[in-house]
Amino acid sequence: MNAKTKFGAALGGTVLTVALAVTGGTAWAAPGSSTASATAGSATASAAVAKLHQADAANRLRNAGVGWSSSGNCTNRNNPHCTSFEQINLATVQGAITLKNASRCALTITGGTETGHASGTYSHWNGYKLDFNPTTCLSNYITGAFTYIGRRAGDNAPQYRAASGNIYARESNHWDVLFYSCGC
């Protein structure tokens, strides 16, 4: 049996496309889309990840009271001295907003999707991560609200996991946050 279904939905100016096809327990995603996969039994589902442009992400963050800074005072994704939100995941922006609301802390983003961060599937460049200024308020919230899961291989950064699955790693001068979901 071969079934193919495609859904599209507008989310605040961003179009999210979800395409699924089941063929012998495998899934199909729209060609050229960035996908996240989940496996349940022998079936695999893939969904396109909603990406935002710089202006849309900045407006959402600004409206929620989340600030950002850039050592180069710029937003160019290809400049490591900038703080860019170009091609950031919608869930990452929503996660930062959820973190602000849950922690009741002032948040300042110091790193986004610009080049210069470590590579990988769940990376800054691919829209999954943000860096935050490590204020006392934020640090106390993360270490008090989330579960310590040990030190990260490579840089020995202490890590904390939220119930949502998001991971908070305390690097030398910032919190490096991996947003798998929009929950904090």
Domains in the chain: boundaries: 2-49, 52-178
What's the confidence (pLDDT) of residue 48? 80
Q: CA–CA separation, 84 vs 76, rounded Å?
A: 6
pLDDT value of residue 183: 83
Per-residue pLDDT tens over the stretch 19-43: 333 333 323 232 233 333 333 333 3
Q: What is the pLDDT of residue 12?
A: 42
| pTM of the model as a whole | 0.75
The helix/strand/coil state of 148 is strand
**pLDDT given at position 85:** 98
Q: Report pLDDT for 4.
A: 35
List CB contacts of 70: < 8 A, sequence separation 6 or more: 81, 82, 83, 110
Task: Tell me which residue of 95, 66, 120, 64 sits closest to 179, measured CA to CA.
Answer: 95
* Lowest-pLDDT choice from 15-19, 94-98, 124-128, 148-152: 15-19
